[in-house]
Amino acid sequence: MTIARGRVLVTGGVGFIGSHLCERLLNDGFHVLCVDNYYSSTKDNIAHLLDNPRFEAIRHDVTFPLYVEVDEIYHLACPASPIHYQRDPVQTTKTAVHGSINMLGLAKRTGAKILLTSTSEVYGDPLVHPQSEDYWGNVNPIGPRACYDEGKRAAETLFFDYHRQHGLQIKVVRLFNTYGPRMHPHDGRVVSNFVVSALKELPLTVYGQGQQTRSFCYIDDLIEGLLKMMGSQPEVTGPINLGNPGEFTISDLADLVIEQTGTSAGIEYLPLPQDDPVRRQPDITRAMSTLGWQPSVPLAEGLARTIEYFRQTIS
């Protein structure tokens, strides 16, 4: 028999990462309150959780205050792919800033621990490689990606100011590219783009010459890192990078997807989008030493699981 271990709020809980986090928290014995406005997510992600008596889902936009009683808050709510966050950039910034203010206010009232999922995008198009947490970044504050990049940077500022001013127990992690089952098939991220195109026998779209690099962390590894961060000592505030330090070119990824899917569709090359980072790789020294965390799922294995998920879900 599972013993309940407290009440946890997950904002953005219906999304790709949020739904996996809700599932893991339930399996670990927590009561889970899942909050989402369904802007970039689908209820299908949590359909298998709805009958669990320790799970509750609420449709709510975090730009408005929320009045609930919780012990811990995982604040994930914010569109995270360029297609979604550039659709309404003003709302994206409001979600990052107003949403954080509202969740921090809730944490202050309830005395809850609160964790922010920030992003590697705070490093912008980095001039330092790999990126460690003490690098301040190279971000264009007025470009088309700024609503997300600067929104998350402002969210980090708010978290640390609430910590200093009000003594809140905060946790800040910076997530690098994460992939796996339940990714939105049309979110514009490179893994889902490649896999969906390959399975539909459409050309894989590569921007530039495909020599830009990314580091891909499988969802199960990422969730383990989030739990370790929330469970860390009170003095551990972060920011801490969570990602897989394996660095691959986009061309490497395309070749692996073509190999694993057996597609004959080939590759289509298009110009690079504005402000697209040229290199991206996390330095996870701090996560390893502070949390005892490092990813264990290699790209080929995680990609095979992801391809199988999309085989079963896309038409």
Residues identified as active-site: 148
Please check whether residue 204 is in contact with residue 268, taking contact to mean a CB–CB distance below 8 angstroms: yes
Inter-residue long-range contacts of 231-234, CB under 8 Å, 24+ positions, other chains counted: 232/171, 232/290, 232/291, 234/169
Q: Give dist(CA 178, CA 107) in Å, integer.
A: 27
Residue given tokens 């028999």 in the structure block: 1
Tokens for 135? 């690098």
Bridge partners (DSSP) listed for residue 179: 218
Q: Give dist(CA 252, CA 257) in Å, integer.
A: 9
SS3 167: coil
SS3 196: helix
> Phi and psi of 136, rounded to 5°?
-85, -10
Q: Give dist(CA 225, CA 179) in Å, integer.
A: 14
Residue given tokens 């395309």 in the structure block: 254
Burial label, 77 (beta-carbon count in 10 A; 0-12, 13-18, 19+): buried
Centroid of chain to Cα 128? 22
Strand 267-270 versus strand 72-75 pairing type: unpaired
Centroid of chain to Cα 276? 18
Q: In this structure, what DSSP letter does residue 74 have?
A: E
